């Protein structure tokens, strides 16, 4: 019997595993392909805030950035590279947004290093930018290190059954709690109100004769140079889903698109692509993450029939799956949000700390029920 079973070994699942291991709990984690084998393994894994005007997601990402920067630096310094981040506007609307951001942020702002200014394209030099101290995570290594102490099972979870106060997984493993961290792939639990946006991510590692001292975000994300290598990546294909599309993803076309977009920012020279990383990343339809218990829709429709159409529903009246939670919908900010959300979820499961209703999956049930 395990204290917790986590389904999905991307950065979300691995972060939850780390928190429970730290609490001395018995942890088992499942993934059909391997640790950080999907969207997390294909991520650039930048740790940065959201550079935009005010909003709930911006505020959450600001808090998550401060927390996660310290989290990686303290717990996984061998997998965390501190690097100045230069975020460059793509158009005039971005120019305005970054100008407002710089006026209001409390983060210390930096100037673009001279050696990077020389290598920027003429278009990039004309745009507004924000530069701060940030970092880059080694995605696969940090995920593997996080689950050290857990039992990892490379196996697709086919069955998940609640029986007499515990969950049975694939008829072979049992756990008191289950966390779904499956990203945009099959979530096992079929609830009509849970919908996720799958966005295909592609990252390439290249060699180039230029030296880039900073992380750069504009049309794509570009990492600092590391022993002559630079990573270029983006969540750039909303139409491809590996479980739905009949035709395979066109890797050559994806490479060409990434290099074309990177060249709009940086004058790359003598480029050779040495490796591709690809995977599906998931986001919610209101762009905020999803964290907490799942509503049993049929039971809740029956028991809360008279109060489903009120302006501000009381989520505490809903019926929930027992000891089943999810962590999902981080989009392209997985490595920023995951440690922050995993801490909140762990405190909720083990110590009863309340999770904000703004990121609860119940918010989607409430909207779905009203539409009915």
Both tokens of 331, joined, read: 């989009």
Q: What is the pLDDT of residue 67?
A: 98
Decide: residue 102, CB within 10 A, 0-12 exposed, 13-18 middle, 19+ buried: middle
Looking at 92-192, list the stretches that DSSP marks H as alpha helix, in order from N- to C-terminal side.
92-104, 114-119, 122-126, 139-146
Spatial distance between the Cα atoms of 154 and 151, rounded to a whole number of angstroms = 10
Q: What is the pLDDT of residue 240?
A: 75
Spatial distance between the Cα atoms of 254 and 234, rounded to a whole number of angstroms = 10
Indicate the Cα dihedral angle 139, 141, 142, 147, nearest 10°: 120
Beta strands 221-222 and 215-217 are: antiparallel
Both tokens of 222, joined, read: 């570009």
CB-side neighbour CA atoms (13 Å) of 228: 8
DSSP label at residue 155: S
Q: What is the pLDDT of residue 182?
A: 93
Residues 6+ apart with CB under 8 A from 247: none
Can you name the residues that pair with 147 across neighbouring β-strands? Answer: none
CA 130 to chain centre: 22
Specify the DSSP element, H or E, that contains 346. helix 334-351
Residue pair 353/343 in contact by the 8 Å Cβ criterion: no
Q: What is the pLDDT of residue 237?
A: 67
Residue pair 321/162 in contact by the 8 Å Cβ criterion: yes
Spatial distance between the Cα atoms of 310 and 117, rounded to a whole number of angstroms = 55
Looking at 134-266, list the stretches that DSSP marks H as alpha helix, in order from N- to C-terminal side.
139-146, 251-263
Residue pair 317/34 in contact by the 8 Å Cβ criterion: no
Spatial distance between the Cα atoms of 196 and 98, rounded to a whole number of angstroms = 29
Residues 6+ apart with CB under 8 A from 312: none
- Residue 371 phi, psi dihedral angles, 5° rounding: -65, -30
Output the pTM of the full model: 0.93
pLDDT mean by block of 10 residues, the chain; 372 residues: 97 98 98 90 87 86 96 97 95 93 92 93 95 94 97 96 94 97 87 89 93 94 92 78 80 93 94 92 92 96 76 89 96 94 98 95 93 78
* Domains of the chain, first to last: 2-38+142-196+285-371 (3.50.50.60), 50-136+208-281 (3.30.9)
């Amino acid at each position: 019997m395990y204290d917790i079973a986590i389904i999905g070994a991307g950065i979300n699942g691995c972060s939850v595993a780390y928190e429970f291991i730290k609490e001395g709990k018995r942890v088992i984690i499942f993934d059909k392909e391997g640790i950080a084998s999907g969207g997390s393994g294909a991520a650039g894994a930048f740790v940065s805030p959201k550079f935009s005007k005010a909003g709930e997601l911006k505020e959450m990402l600001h808090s998550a950035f401060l927390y996660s920067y310290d989290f990686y630096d303290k717990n996984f310094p061998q997998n965390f590279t501190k690097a100045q981040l230069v975020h460059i506007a793509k158009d005039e609307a971005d120019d305005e947004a970054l100008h407002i951001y710089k006026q209001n942020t409390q983060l210390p702002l930096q100037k673009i290093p001279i050696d990077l200014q020389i290598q920027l394209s003429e278009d990039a030099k004309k745009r507004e930018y924000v530069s701060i101290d940030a970092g880059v995570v080694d995605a696969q290594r940090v995920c593997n290190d996080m689950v050290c102490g857990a039992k990892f099972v490379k196996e697709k979870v086919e069955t998940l059954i609640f029986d007499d106060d515990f969950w049975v997984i694939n008829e072979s493993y049992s756990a008191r709690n289950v966390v779904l961290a499956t990203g945009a792939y099959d979530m096992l639990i079929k609830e009509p109100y849970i919908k996720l946006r799958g966005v295909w991510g592609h990252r390439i590692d290249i060699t180039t004769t230029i030296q880039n001292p900073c992380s750069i975000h504009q049309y794509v994300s570009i990492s600092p140079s590391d022993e002559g290598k630079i990573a270029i990546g983006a969540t750039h294909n909303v139409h491809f889903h590996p479980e739905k599309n009949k035709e395979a993803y066109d890797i050559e076309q994806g490479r060409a698109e990434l290099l074309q977009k990177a060249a709009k920012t940086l004058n790359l020279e003598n480029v050779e692509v040495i490796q591709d990383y690809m995977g599906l990343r998931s986001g919610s339809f209101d762009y905020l993450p999803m964290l907490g218990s799942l509503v049993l829709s049929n039971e809740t429709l029956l028991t809360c029939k008279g109060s489903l159409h009120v302006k501000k529903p009381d989520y505490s009246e809903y019926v929930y799956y027992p000891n089943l939670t999810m962590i999902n919908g981080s989009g392209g900010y997985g490595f920023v949000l995951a440690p922050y959300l995993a801490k909140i979820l762990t405190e909720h499961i083990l110590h009863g700390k309340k999770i904000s209703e703004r990121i609860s999956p119940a918010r989607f049930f409430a909207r779905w029920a009203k539409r009915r």
